[in-house]
Amino acid sequence: MPDIKHFDPDVALDQVVRLFWERGADTTGINDVVAVTGLSRSSLYATFGGKQQLYAAALRHYLERQSRPVFDALATDGRGLPAIAAFFDRLVRSC
């Protein structure tokens, strides 16, 4: 019988993405992840694997939630070069 999760992995990944973004993945320890998500180490390991697998899951989550919608909108924008220039302008202003 599969284990029933008592948390939403997508919510946890949202929190981990933010944490990695703010502190960097290399300097963020699993104890930091536990503190931010409120999940136990065992729940994190059972769901995502080790830190490298968690990082990969967070990166996939970021790409799906943040990058893909932006690139999809850019791909369907019929303005061509002005759309690309606007994309980079928004990117620079967001930094």
28-65 pLDDT, tens digit each: 999 999 999 999 999 999 999 999 999 999 999 999 99
83, pLDDT greater than 80? yes
pTM for the model stands at 0.81
Confidence check: pLDDT of 2 > 80? no
| pLDDT of 3 | 67
Q: Where are the domains of the chain?
A: 9-94
Long-range CB contacts for residues 67-72, cutoff 8 Å, separation at least 24: none
Q: b/e map of 50-78 (b: 16 or more CB within 10 Å)?
A: ebeebbebbbebbeeeeeeeeeeeeeeee
pLDDT at 1 over 80: no
Q: What is the pLDDT of residue 43?
A: 95
CATH 1.10.10.60 fits 9-94, yes or no: yes
pLDDT in tens, 14-32: 999 999 999 999 999 999 9
Question: Rounded to 10 degrees, what is the CA torsion of 77, 78, 82, 86?
Answer: -10
The residue that leads in pLDDT, 12 or 1, is 12
